[in-house]
Amino acid sequence: MLDSPRVDLFLEGGLSYFDEDFNQGKDDHYATIREALGLKWEMWPERIRFYHKHELYYSLKEANSYYWRGEQGLRFFMVSNFFANLETNFKYTRKPAPGKKEWDSIYVLSLGYEFKF
């Protein structure tokens, strides 16, 4: 959608199939409408990158039933293609499994290596 040296942005949409397998409770599967968005912004090229990605699934089976997950964070580039990420991941489900919450979040600090071809 937008692809420049400092900013990459995409938007996707379409039909999907969602399959929920629970350890406890009844499994469920249904057709959905899927929407996804992604953004990469080189705040300081080759040093710091902001990123955001999310997906949203609207159930075609049941009104007001949806699932959303997203991640966003900062990537700090270090020496020789090594990087560190500081990231927040979120999940929301309108109808969680029995005994589970609607919202779930996790905070991640990771180190990695990027292969460049």
Element (H, E) at 39: strand 28-44
CA distance 41 to 16: 28
Asked if 32 and 4 touch (Cβ cutoff 8 Å), the reply is no
What letter represents residue 19's amino acid? Answer: D
Whether the pLDDT of residue 78 is over 90: the answer is: yes
CA distance 91 to 68: 6
**Pairwise pLDDT comparison (29 vs 68), residue with the higher score:** 68
Each domain of the chain, given as residue ranges in start order, spans: 2-113
**pLDDT per position as a tens digit, 30-64:** 899 999 999 999 999 989 999 999 999 999 988 88
